[in-house]
Amino acid sequence: MTDQKKPDQSTTPDKHSEKPWGGRFSEPTDAFVERFTASVGFDQRLYHHDITGSIAHATMLAEVGVLTADERDSILEGLQAVKADIEAGTFEWSVSLEDVHMNIEARLTDRIGITGKKLHTGRSRNDQVATDIRLYLRDEIDVIAEELTRLKAGLLDLAEREADTIMPGFTHLQTAQPVTFGHHLLAWYEMLVRDGERLQDCRKRVNVMPLGAAALAGTTYPIDRAMTARLLGFDRPTENSLDSVSDRDFAIEFCSFAALLMTHLSRFSEELVLWTSAQFDFIDLPDRFCTGSSIMPQKKNPDVPELVRGKTGRVNGHLISLLTLMKSQPLAYNKDNQEDKEPLFDTVDTIKGCLKAYADMIPAIRAKADNMRVAAKRGFSTATDLADYLVKKGVAFRDAHEIVGKAVAFGVAENRDLSDMTLEELSRFSDVIGEDVFDVLTLEGSVQARDHLGGTAPDQVRAAVARARKQL
């Protein structure tokens, strides 16, 4: 039997064996495939959270005896030095090292030698990236929550300032009943309250630690996952290693929150675009939030609301992208999951930008109260008040509805609002109408009459603002 030739261990390794996983491979990765599969171009933004997770992991490994104290200290010092290089802009990211994790580990090993190779003991890139994304998203949720609070506070200030300003309320974009501008703004506020609650609820499911699940089955090392979770500020470790590395529900849930938030901001935007138009002319936006036309010198375009409205489709698309990404994946981790980051990152960036724009812009809105009032008098907005008046005088509601309908038809023919008709004219439609009818036909009388929790009366608007400030 002839001897088989053994590999020459003294030669410099081929490029493929320089990869941390290269021992099993007999040829280097195709150059195109290397570029195609690399994620370092976008996941390098996770560097801070990757290093934070590695510091906690190394600390735990030393505590359970897998690393010595000297090895732990060397790793921690090396990781801090790598972080300093990244933040100084002197770190060279390598596509051949594929991702943020291997780039940082390779640089660590360059700095501290073979001890750097011990950092990955008891973990996999599968649980490492799942942990990094959760750490990243948790921090971003806290930033977003602060910006959402700033926007809500600005809305409350504007609502209080405009508690007495009367405008038309609409259904089907047709004049319906008078409301106060402050009350309308508080409707926006309620949408944002729900968004904030959804965000905080999402955070609970983000703040669970997958580290320790390793590739998919856990690890044979005596790790202390509860300790690592405490070090990283997680509420608890995850319960199942298979689910730990493959779960992206938390990212989908966040994008679902974001899609609803953007839907609300888009609704706000639509109204702002309408209200700044010459046809409505209800409000004025500061020049710094608008742009002009290259050919029409008179134009002042509400570009910020328009762009926010447009970005809603972008965020909705990211939600669909993540849902589709996960819909057919078998357990556990699959390379597909690399595609979770760019939609998530862009969603975070988009909603942070939109919230900042709105939080800066909303307090600077100037209401054109006179124009709003004139518009509220059009369209017979106090017709319901007249019907309610008749009911209180003993007329059945359906009869009252018909009586008021005839009065409105007369007003349409005469081009006059109900409040502009004389008592003699109004009493033609019902003999129960008396002089006191004009108390309810005025715009002020209409909004003041709705003086109950959730109503549009100015006092109720101010009370709602006070309650909301306590919650903030």
Q: Measuring CA to CA, which residue among 138, 323, 335 is closest to residue 249?
A: 323
Q: Out of 26, 49, 184, 293, pick the active-site residue.
A: 293
Residue 364 gets which letter from DSSP? G
Pairing mode, strands 166-171 and 208-209: unpaired
- Exposure on the CB side of residue 423, measured as CA atoms within 13 A: 9
CA 228 → CA 1, 33, 123, 124, 237, distances in Å?
Answer: 54, 35, 12, 15, 8
Task: Provide Rg for the chain, Cα atoms.
Answer: 32
Active-site residue 172, yes or no? Answer: yes
**Alpha-carbon gap, residue 193 to 407, rounded angstroms:** 41
- Exposure on the CB side of residue 380, measured as CA atoms within 13 A: 19
Q: Measuring CA to CA, which residue among 33, 408, 427, 439 is closest to residue 447?
A: 439
Active-site residue 427, yes or no? Answer: no
| DSSP secondary structure of 123-175 | --HHHHHHHHHHHHHHHHHHHHHHHHHHHHHHHHHHHHHTTT-EEEEEETTEE
CA 318 → CA 143, 171, 193, 353, distances in Å?
Answer: 20, 32, 23, 16
Whether residue 88 is preceded by a cis peptide bond, meaning omega within 30 degrees of 0, is no
Largest CA distance in the chain: 124
Q: Out of 172, 294, 328, 452, pick the active-site residue.
A: 172
CB 154 within 8 A of CB 363: yes
Known catalytic residues? 172, 293
